[in-house]
Amino acid sequence: MQKNPVQCQFVAALDSIVGKWKPIILYHLLQGKPLRFNELRRLLPDITQRMLTLHLRELEEEEIVKRVIYPQIPPKVEYSITEYGMSLSPVLETLHQWGVAHIERKQLIKQKNEQTKTD
């Protein structure tokens, strides 16, 4: 733990959320339906197997995601959001909303700049 408590709190929150793919993984799992490893891969076409595994392990560690193994061949593993993980929903939600607005704003500015060029 560090000296600065506010810093800590942000860090604690961001650690759980940050990682190139964690927000989208959580976004999909927050839909409620458990997803298999390869289903997640299909939903995140650009993620590598390695990163999906790593991120899922980290989320599991923090009890944000639950991993259920069905002992069968071929293996089947399902990932789902935990009750605790659901508490992240408002965080992701506001973050997502801001992202949408932020992108829109950028495009507006870009358009304006292109207009003034032709003036």
Partner DNA sequence: CAGCATCCACATTGATACTG
Partner DNA sequence: CAGTATCAATGTGGATGCTG
Neighbour-count burial of 32, counting CB atoms closer than 10 A to its CB (0-12 exposed, 13-18 middle, 19+ buried): exposed
How many angstroms separate the CA atoms of 61 and 65, rounded? Answer: 8
End-to-end CA distance of the chain: 56
User: What is the β-pairing status of strands 35-36 and 76-81?
Assistant: antiparallel
User: Between residues 76 and 102, which has the closer beta carbon with respect to DNA?
Assistant: 76
**Residue list 64-93, contact with its own copies (CB under 8 A):** 84, 87-88, 90-92
- Closest to DNA by CB, 69 or 117: 69
Residues that bind DNA (CB under 7 A): 18-21, 36-39, 46-51, 53-57, 67, 74-78
Binding residues (CB under 8 A) for its own copies: these are 2-4, 6-14, 16-18, 21, 23-24, 27, 44-46, 84, 87-88, 90-92, 94-96, 98-103, 105-106
